Amino acid sequence: MRAKERMSALTDLYQEIAVCRKCEIARNRTHTVPGEGAENADIMFIGEAPGFNEDQQGRPFVGAAGQFLDELIKSIGLDRKTVYITNVIKTRPPDNRDPLPTEIMNCRPYLEKQIQLISPKIIVTLGRYSMSMFFPGKSISKIHGTHQTVSGITYFAMYHPAAALHQGNLRETLKQDIKKLPPLLAELKKQMAPVATPPETKQLSMF
Ligand code: URA
């Protein structure tokens, strides 16, 4: 799909999300927070749910956890404009409570459509709600900093940046884990690069 078509399909999706009323929490939101970033990003970060600041601005990860996420992204030489950032659910739950299973289920088609349109090489799950969509039954303390590839997409699990705001030791863990992304991406690109086939060599005959 061309960049223009992709952007227009994403805009349509954002409009669909903006008028979504599948969940009770839609009543109290200021803005939906669909996601933002490069429509052709190699890396897509998926957090949990918008918080107060995100609901106010309609943009993902713009509060304290977002500042740390920006720092992490910059630490590997990237910028939030060159990656794509979204959440499992697109509306802020009241008092920042955990997303409910029905809310995750109702929002899932939006996330799936984003993944299909952006077609990232790596999906980075931030925290356990995002992780459990792609690594069901796994524990974040065991699998953070590791990846698995399913149907051409590589999933990489990380702690949620907000967790590091409460547990200082996780700051370093997140900084170490994110360092694995550039070599992982380089390796995936190498695997995906078409193998150059030499032009057919004609059988040279002396006779
Ligand atoms: N936490 C999230 O999971 N997502 C945001 O957008 C902000 C904080």
DSSP state string for 89-138: SSSPPGGGPPPPHHHHHHHHHHHHHHHHHH--SEEEEESHHHHHHHSTT-
Residue 151: both structure tokens together: 């149907």
Tell whether 176 is covered by a domain. Answer: yes
pTM (predicted TM-score): 0.93
Tell whether 206 is covered by a domain. Answer: no
Q: How far apart are CA 185 and CA 149, in angstroms?
A: 12
Tell whether 205 is covered by a domain. Answer: no
Supply the pLDDT for residue 200: 59
CA–centroid distance, residue 6 to ligand 1 (Å)? 24
Domain count, the chain: 1
Work out the angle at residue 161's Cα, subtended by the Cα atoms of residues 191 and 159, and round it to the nearest 5 degrees. Answer: 60
Tell whether 81 is covered by a domain. Answer: yes
Alpha helices in the chain (DSSP H): 3-18, 52-57, 64-75, 101-118, 128-134, 140-143, 161-166, 169-178, 181-192
Tell whether 196 is covered by a domain. Answer: no
User: Which residue of 54, 96, 132 sits with most ligand 1 atoms within 8 Å of its CB, as the best mutation to test the pocket?
Assistant: 54
What residue ranges of the chain have pLDDT lower than 70? 197-207
CA–centroid distance, residue 165 to ligand 1 (Å)? 13
User: Which residue of 29, 31, 61 sits with most ligand 1 atoms within 8 Å of its CB, as the best mutation to test the pocket?
Assistant: 61
Q: Specify the ligand 1 atom closest to the Cα of 85.
A: 6
Tell whether 194 is covered by a domain. Answer: no
Find the CATH number of the domain harbouring 18.
3.40.470.10
Q: Specify the ligand 1 atom closest to the Cα of 33.
A: 6
Tell whether 116 is covered by a domain. Answer: yes
Tell whether 197 is covered by a domain. Answer: no
Q: Specify the ligand 1 atom closest to the Cα of 59.
A: 6
On whether the CB atoms of residues 73 and 154 are closer than 8 A, the answer is: no
Domain carrying residue 59: 3-189
